[in-house]
């Protein structure tokens, strides 16, 4: 069974700090990875995608991918209370033609 694992949290950080969210995936053949943010009562929205080893930055967000370790992370710099949400890590299962989601990490940013 192909899986994406995340620490469910909650992860609590003070406003202005760096929030670090991590996940691991089991399918070594996965090539595409995504981070989604889901506010309570809302649908998931894509915030980052990453396909190559290394870092990818977009504003306050940096996604990191290490295929050898099967590890994906998301850093949120200068965290804001509005970043408080559940963050879902996802990996695309090429053989199964589907995206596998982790259970999500709840992030709280304290003002």
Partner 1 sequence: DTAVSQTPKYLVTQMGNDKSIKCEQNLGHDTMYWYKQDSKKFLKIMFSYNNKELIINETVPNRFSPKSPDKAHLNLHINSLELGDSAVYFCASSPQGSEQYFGPGTRLTVT
The distance of Cα 101 from the centroid of its chain, to the nearest Å, equals 10
Residues numbered 81 to 110 that lie near partner 1 (CB under 8 A) are: 86, 88, 92, 94, 96-99, 101, 103-104
Kindly state the smallest distance separating residue 1's Cβ from partner 1, in Å.
11
Q: Which residue has the tokens 């649908």?
A: 43
- Taking Cα atoms as reference points, which of 95, 92, 101 lies closest to residue 32? 92
Binding mask 25-64 for partner 1 (x = CB under 8 A): -------x-x---x---xxxxx--x---------------
> Taking CB under 8 A as the rule, does residue 24 contact partner 1?
no
Helix or strand run (H / E) with residue 14: strand 11-14
């Amino acid at each position: 069974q192909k899986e994406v694992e995340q620490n469910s949290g909650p992860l609590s950080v003070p406003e202005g700090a760096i929030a670090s969210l991590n996940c691991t995936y089991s399918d070594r053949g996965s090539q595409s990875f995504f981070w989604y943010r889901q506010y309570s009562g809302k649908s998931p929205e894509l915030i980052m995608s990453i396909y190559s080893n290394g870092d990818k930055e977009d504003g306050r967000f940096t996604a990191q991918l290490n295929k050898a370790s099967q590890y994906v992370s998301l850093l949120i710099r200068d965290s804001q209370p509005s970043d408080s949400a559940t963050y879902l890590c996802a990996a695309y299962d090429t053989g199964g033609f589907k995206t596998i989601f982790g259970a999500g990490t709840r992030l709280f940013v304290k003002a």
